[in-house]
Structure 1
């Protein structure tokens, strides 16, 4: 028997459990049971989206899954289930870069595949856009992780480069008396590596800027 959390008991105010096997609501506090048709679908859908908006993703997913046992082709329920899987509280929240970084795009794409198999052409068109959104988010996250990693490496390499620079010249009374050709060569090699790293950071930052613009455009269609 599978039990998931559902509505609030109208008798005592306790949290109702949903028994999917018996297709009833059960209040674990007062013991009252309700047929699962007791609550209208619209009310349950609204409640599920409220759970989603408050980032209660597991509870929201349970409610959307329950709605889909009644209508496997309900676009609103499928959309909610995918959002819950991807940890997206609201589509419009994705205009914020910080919100994009905490999404689980891989789980969302898996949910798109799972729930979208039997959709009609209109539904499939919608979820093609949703999958594109998740691909953009994944790309943004990967570039962000690379930028952070490269920035740390570049900072470390600059410290190393400064040490090499100090070995390049022998300075006396602010006058260069001699220099080490090998150290100069080593300096040039290390500097080239850092410059290449900086170019890669800029390239990925440009990718991130383009991705977030496309994300902001796409969420207006969802």
Structure 2
């Protein structure tokens, strides 16, 4: 069982790294344009959302022949790896069985949402794409709150709790942007912060799983 968990942690780490790698490469092949400025050249890091990379046609009208399949495949694989990470935690990752069960359920839903995003380009299947976004974000926020509650109740104020809180705050702001219908470059910037914090958070969990640190956050 321990070997399976460590293998799962390795798979999860690979998923995180490959997504960062291939999404970054895809940025160099993006056709250009943003939701606010369709004449913008190439990919504008703080003004383009990540989902723009998965569009079959960029906002400038240029087909995303390379970036779309590269990003969507990388994101879908990342979503599968997220599910593997949660399955690899095991019921003893935290001392509370029921809390861990809720985290597992939320994590699987969030990972599934990520896969859905990858299979539904925003310019072709916008409604399903947004369904995937909410399936990713809301359960993840619930999972973060459960980790925070566990840490506070057990007096575990360490670096993992700190990054969990930081991610929860950033995600809460991002969810608020979606609920209120805010759509501006600040949304794209917030998304980047949330996604990269989330990846760091998952890598930290993978390290803990691999080391079989099942009693504390540190």
* TM-score in terms of structure 2 length: 0.38
* TM-score in terms of structure 1 length: 0.37
Higher CA-based Rg = 1
Pick 1 or 2: higher relative contact order, CA cutoff 8 A, min separation 6: 2
